[in-house]
Amino acid sequence: MNEQEYNNYCRIAEVIELAQQDCMKQPKLEEIAKKIGLNSADFQKLFNDWAGVEPAKFLEYINVQYAKQILSNSQSKLFETSSKTEPLGNARLHNQLVEIVEMTPEEYQNDCKNLDINYSFTKSLFGLLLVASTHKGICYLGFSDNKQIVFSDLQKRFSKAKFIQQADNIQQNALQIFTTDRSKINKIKLHLKGSYFQLSVWKALLQIPMGSLLSYKDIAEIIQKPKSARAVGTAIGSNPISFIIPCHRVIQSSGAYGGYMWGTIRKTAIIGWEAAKVNSLDID
Active site residues: 247
Distance (Å, whole) CA 207 – CA 74: 11
In terms of residues, how long is the chain? 284
User: What is the Cα gyration radius of the chain?
Assistant: 19
Instruction: Give the three-state DSSP class for 82.
Output: coil
| CB 120, CB 165: distance < 8 Å | yes
Burial class (CB in 10 A: 0-12, 13-18, 19+), 102: middle
Burial class (CB in 10 A: 0-12, 13-18, 19+), 227: exposed
Of 195, 283, 206, 273, the residue nearest 241 (C-alpha): 206
Of 245, 275, 258, the residue nearest 215 (C-alpha): 258
| CB 190, CB 48: distance < 8 Å | no
C-alpha atoms less than 13 angstroms from C-alpha of 18 in its C-beta half-sphere:
17
